[in-house]
Amino acid sequence: MGNCCAAINSEESRYSISIGRASNSIDLQPLHIINTESSSNSIVLPQIPIKPIFEALTSEKDTCAGAKEETSILTLQSPEEIDIKCTCGSYYAYKSDLVFWHYEKFNNWNIQCSICLNYFSKSAWKCNHCDKIVCRDCGNIEGMQATIEYCEKNHELIWSPNTCAYYSQEYNKSSYICALCKRSRNEPSWACRDCEYDICLHCGIQKGLTPTTNLLVCGKNKPLLHCKKSDIPFVCNKCNDITNKNSYSCSSCDYSVCTSCSEPLLACMIAHPGMKCRKNHDLKVMKIGNAKKMFGRWYICLKCDNVSMKYGYLCTGCCECYCLKCGDEIVRAIESYSGRNCGVGHILVWNPCYEKEDSENLCVVCWKRIYGGCFRCEDCEISVCVDDITKIN
């Protein structure tokens, strides 16, 4: 499978691409539609619904100052620690898990800011009562401080469930060294993959960070921290086995999960709900060798054609995957470029790309076929690949 350039007749193209020398960007402008015969090779991607926040949320009046505050499983902030109030009288809280909350509630990972009305797909502020959402740009204008950490080169750290898989693939190591506590860890982290800079769960939580999704929690929904093997055995609260090997534990309530029980939970953790196969199934980070033995199939990266990867984002049911590098690039692209303008006033949103037999999905910038997900404008019926989304105005 390869991304081959398609020979496109310029007279049949609905879009012209103009490259501005000063801005080095691409502006997509519609041309007159030329009537052509329909082809069986055409593809129509299903539209991802963009439901405005104001229509989807239950309407709230500005008289709910005494409303009970919501308690989030993942957000450690309390209303007393936040000094920015919503018009309803409640408080805004910075939500690292906002995208997952929005997807669970609206089946949609494209979020609309209640102030600027722009769309985005990453962490931001949400009112604890009326669910109004404020994007980072508008929050910064209002003086709201986001809970974000940066590496030594000032790159924003991204929640990464696949950190141990990355170091195992690149360096054949089962753990990484936390940049703050300098200890060896084998758990998810907040990471800058370009700089190989990682902050472990313990250090990140102490700095106020919260995972975007965390399946390793105790009975009181507190995150479990990694503990090395000790001389004192413990009882796993999942399988009831007695062991003294590595575990994930909550010391305050004496809750522990052994390695055998924690590994399947860690494998189910994803960095963004948009990480799906072309049939809308969730992708999980798995070891390719184990998947081959279990399902008897070969796996090839949908984006770069890599067949020698050790780990990947897999859909075991559809035999589809992205390598770790491409998967991480996709997550960063969704968070950075969702909501960009397609050039005629419409927004581009991430679409996992539902591909049908004998159909083609071409990027309007490089005119190469897109085998995996893409950024899609349903109004203009155009697609942009991950590599070229930075070139769109």
Residue 241 has a pLDDT of 86
Predicted pLDDT of residue 83? 55
Angle at the Cα of 141 from the Cα atoms of 349 and 104, rounded to 5 degrees: 40
Alpha carbon distance 379, 45 (integer Å) = 11
Give me the residues of the chain with pLDDT under 70, please: 1-83, 354-359, 393
pLDDT for 354:
63
pLDDT of residue 342: 87
pLDDT digits (tens, 9 = 90+) for 164-195: 999 999 999 988 999 999 999 888 899 999 99
Put the strands of the sheet holding 189-192 in their side by side order. 158-160, 189-192, 197-200
Q: What is the pLDDT of residue 261?
A: 85
Residue 81 confidence (pLDDT):
40
Q: Which residues pair with 375 in a beta bridge?
A: 350, 384
Element spanning 331, H or E: helix 324-337
pLDDT at 78: 38
Distance CA 201, CA 152 (A): 18
Report how far residue 326's alpha carbon sits from residue 349's, in angstroms, rounded to the nearest whole number.
18
229's tokens: 């093997």
SS3 for 113-151 is: CCCCCCEECCCEEEECCCCCEECHHHHHHCCCCCCCCEC
Selection from 24, 33, 40, 127 nearest residue 359 by Cα: 40
Q: What is the pLDDT of residues 211-226, one digit of tens each?
A: 887 778 888 888 887 7
